[in-house]
């Protein structure tokens, strides 16, 4: 398999910049070449407006802050996924993709003028506090939240471990806002967990895609096969409430289950933004049937994996329609420790379908269910209805294969 060496980030983790961050950016080349020339009339207008603000605004202003705000505003309406990041935000991004940061552990998006939770990270303070996908953050410590100033809201949510942030939450089907106190902590992003559900049937949970997810999936599959006596009879791959992550990690995970075939392709304006990634030989599950669990919190990189496995005939999707983020962002350093996160491609599943703002429909639709965390009391298959349905489907799939193998050959 070959793919670009540039880091392509489809999402961020925790209380940092969300998968659908509504902010702006300035179109600058990350390679420092060929900057766009501002038309003379526009340059004159910008200079005049900044001069008026500098001289006549009721409070003193800082020219550098004004320019940064202008840069952010330039792309505020491009799409909700592009962003200009100052040095602190860029450092937050770097830390997030490495798997540890201080916060409460949620992924958010700006949607229809509101800040909406895509998913809490497994085991995070937000998950323990009961924050759910689809919740709307209305206020932080009593101060209202503006979707156009998402970085400011994120900064207010983050803080020192052990301190408490009070969130006002709007929830569908709940008439009054909910007040939720969440104690901040160092969120260690362990993206892969596993266990045996029953003899020969493994469970693999990926909560987000970071730089370590691919190797961790390989290690987990080898351990599951060892526990199964050398061969898995089926696998439940749980991508529910997985908000996405690093594109390369999604490709690596998809490749772990495929012998051949396209994983994902992308189209954009630049040569580097157009690519096609294919699987190489080596199915780590050795053809064992796979049931992939998805829901409305499955976004971006998790949708790439789900689409790749289904379109290649490797798995069935069970659950609810996914979030629908079908674009790729490239992070471009632009000097002074700052960076531009710009949407550069739209990606397509192997069948050529775009899931952007549409999502993936499951093969087997399931009613809304609460997820059960690994490590709770009792067996996961008994506590989680989706997992129970997936195990039942795998049993039926195995029965069909056994019957087909036992049928006489009339050729």
Which spans in 135-198 are helix H? 150-157
- Active-site positions read 300, 311, 325
Give CA torsion, residues 310, 316, 317, 319, to 10 deg.
Answer: 170
Is there a contact between 263 and 350 (Cβ–Cβ < 8 Å)?
yes
Please compute, for residue 125, the number of CA atoms within 13 A of its CA located in the half-sphere on the CB side.
Answer: 25
Nearest to 278 by CA among 288, 266, 265, 289: 265
247-256 and 301-311 helices, crossing angle to 10°: 30
Residues 239 and 305 sit within 8 Å (Cβ to Cβ): yes
- b vs e for 344-369, b when ≥16 Cβ sit within 10 Å of the residue's Cβ? bbbbbbbeeeebeeebbebeeebeeb
Look up tokens 């937000």; give the residue: 126
Render 241-294 in DSSP notation, one character per residue.
T---BBHHHHHHHHHHT-SSSEEEEEE-SSGGG-EEEEPPS--TTTT--EEEEE
């Amino acid at each position: 398999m070959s793919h670009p060496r540039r880091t392509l980030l489809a999402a961020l983790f925790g209380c940092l910049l969300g998968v659908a961050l509504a902010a702006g950016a300035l179109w600058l080349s990350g390679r420092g070449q060929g900057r766009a020339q501002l038309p003379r009339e526009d340059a004159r207008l910008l200079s005049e407006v900044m001069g008026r603000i500098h001289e006549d605004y009721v409070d003193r202003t800082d020219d550098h802050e004004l320019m940064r705000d202008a840069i952010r505003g330039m792309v505020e309406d491009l799409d909700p996924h592009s962003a200009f990041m100052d040095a602190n935000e860029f450092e937050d991004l770097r830390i997030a993709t490495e798997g540890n940061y201080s916060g409460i552990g949620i992924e958010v998006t700006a949607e229809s003028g509101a800040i909406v939770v895509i998913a809490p990270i497994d085991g995070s303070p937000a998950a323990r506090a009961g924050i759910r996908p689809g919740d709307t953050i209305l206020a932080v410590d009593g101060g209202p939240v503006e979707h156009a100033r998402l970085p400011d809201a994120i900064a207010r949510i983050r803080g020192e471990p052990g301190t408490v942030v009070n969130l006002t939450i709007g929830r569908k089907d709940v008439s009054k806002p909910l007040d939720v106190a969440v104690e901040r902590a160092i969120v260690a992003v362990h993206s892969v967990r596993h266990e045996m559900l029953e003899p020969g049937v493994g469970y693999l949970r990926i909560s987000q895609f970071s730089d370590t997810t691919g190797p961790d999936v390989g290690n987990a599959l080898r351990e599951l096969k060892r526990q199964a006596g050398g061969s898995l009879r089926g696998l439940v791959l749980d991508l529910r409430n997985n908000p996405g992550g690093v594109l390369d990690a999604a490709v690596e995970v998809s490749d772990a289950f495929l012998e051949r075939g396209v994983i994902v392709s992308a189209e954009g304006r630049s040569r580097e933004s157009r690519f096609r990634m294919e699987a190489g030989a080596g199915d780590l599950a050795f053809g064992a049937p796979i049931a992939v669990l998805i829901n409305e919190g499955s976004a971006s990189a998790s949708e790439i994996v789900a689409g790749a496995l289904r379109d290649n005939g490797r798995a069935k999707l069970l659950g609810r329609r996914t979030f629908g983020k079908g674009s790729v962002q490239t992070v471009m350093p632009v000097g002074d420790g700052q960076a531009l996160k710009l949407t550069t491609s739209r990606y397509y599943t192997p069948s050529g379908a775009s899931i952007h703002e549409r999502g993936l429909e499951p093969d087997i639709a399931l009613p809304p269910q609460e997820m059960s965390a690994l490590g709770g009391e009792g067996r996961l298959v008994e506590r989680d209805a989706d997992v129970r349905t997936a195990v039942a489907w795998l049993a039926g799939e195995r029965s069909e294969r056994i019957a087909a193998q036992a049928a006489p050959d009339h050729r």
